[in-house]
Structure 1
Amino acid sequence: MDLVTPSIGLIFWQAVTFLIVLFLLAKFAWKPIMKALNDREASIENALSAAEKAKLEMQALKADNEKLLAEARLERDRILKEATEAGNNIVETARQKAEEEGSRMITNAREVIENEKRAAITEVKNMAAVLSLDIAERILKRELSDPKTQEALAQDYVREVTLS
């Protein structure tokens, strides 16, 4: 059982050795170890703050991107609206021009028809006058072939002229 129970001398030397090792560790190793731990803690803290800062920047960038997308959508909608309005204006202008051209063509056609109608009426009147003169000439030749009839007709004219 001697092996299991330590003696006082052994405990003393173990305590002295422990205190020497503790002193040496405190003198030479403790400060670098604590410095390394503090440095690591600081680097972890810096990394966490940098990550938080990056997260905030990402949120700001995301908000900016969403704002830009919203502005781009508004711009797209405005451009589409303007294009639609421009297309409608072009169609409306073309329709108005077509209506004006159609009205002008109808007016011109009516004028041409009216002129042709007047020309035809004038021609018919001229033909009627020529035919009337021809018929009157034939009738007068037939009726005036007799000298008595010529004298009676002349007397009738003289009476009408003096009465008027």
Structure 2
Amino acid sequence: MELLTPNIGLLFWQIVAFGGLFFILRSFAWKPILASLKEREENIQSALDLAEKTRREMAAMKADNEKLLAQARSEREAILRGAKETADKLIAESRDKAESEGKRILEQARETMQNERQALIMQMKKEVVTLSLDIAEKVLRKELSDKSSQEKLVNDLVANSSLN
């Protein structure tokens, strides 16, 4: 049982050795260890703060990038919409211009045709008149070769003119 109950002397020297070791460690080891632990804790805390700051900055940059991307998309849509409107306007203007040009050309062709028709009718009338006069002249020469037929023609013409 001697092993289970320590001797007072042994206990005293163990306490003295422990106290001495405690004093030496406290004086020379714990201060540098605690200082290095405190420094390490500060480094870790600053690293955590920097990581948190970086995370916030990254979130802000991501939000800014998304905002810029949305703005760029809206500008692209506006540009595309404007280009489409311009293209539609140009197409409509071209179509209107082509239609008006076509109508003008068609009207000009109709007018030309009408003028040619009038000229043709006038020429035909001239030719008919000329032919009629030639025929009438020949007929009159033949019929008016004697004096009695001339008198009869004059009387008929006078009778017809008073009726009209």
TM-score normalised to structure 1 length: 0.88
Paired letter, 2:101: E
Displacement of 1:59 in angstroms is 1.3
Mapping of residues 14-163 of structure 1, within 5 Å? 14-150=14-150, 152=151
Give the unaligned 5+ runs of structure 1: 160-164
Question: How far apart, in 1, do the equivalents of 2:146 and 2:37 lie?
Answer: 159
Displacement of 1:153 in angstroms is 7.6
Question: How far apart, in 2, do the equivalents of 1:70 and 1:18 lie?
Answer: 71
Displacement of 1:50 in angstroms is 0.7
Residues 126 and 111 of structure 1: is their aligned pair in 2 closer, same or farther, counting only changes over 3 Å? same
Paired letter, 2:118: R
What is the percentage of aligned positions where both structures have the same residue? 49
Over aligned residues, Cα RMSD in angstroms?
A: 1.8
The aligned length equals 156
- 1:68 partner SS: helix
Question: How far apart, in 1, do the equivalents of 2:91 and 2:114 lie?
Answer: 34
Residues 69 and 106 of structure 1: is their aligned pair in 2 closer, same or farther, counting only changes over 3 Å? same
Displacement of 1:109 in angstroms is 0.9
Residues 141-163 of structure 1 show CA distances to partners (whole Å, capped at 9, x for unaligned) of 1122224445x38987xx9xxxx
- 1:4 partner SS: coil
Question: How far apart, in 2, do the equivalents of 1:76 and 1:17 lie?
Answer: 82
Residues 134 and 50 of structure 1: is their aligned pair in 2 closer, same or farther, counting only changes over 3 Å? same
User: Does 139-148 or 59-68 show the bigger shift?
Assistant: 139-148
Q: Could you say which residue in structure 1 is the equivalent of 2:161? A: none
Residues 30-88 of structure 1 show CA distances to partners (whole Å, capped at 9, x for unaligned) of 11110111011101111111111011101110110111011011101101110110111
Question: How far apart, in 1, do the equivalents of 2:57 and 2:68 lie?
Answer: 16
Residues 81-137 of structure 1 show CA distances to partners (whole Å, capped at 9, x for unaligned) of 101101111111111111111111111111111111111111111111111111111
TM-score normalised to structure 2 length: 0.88
Question: How far apart, in 1, do the equivalents of 2:23 and 2:153 lie?
Answer: 174
Q: Could you say which residue in structure 1 is the equivalent of 2:162? A: none
Q: Could you say which residue in structure 2 is the equivalent of 1:10? A: 10
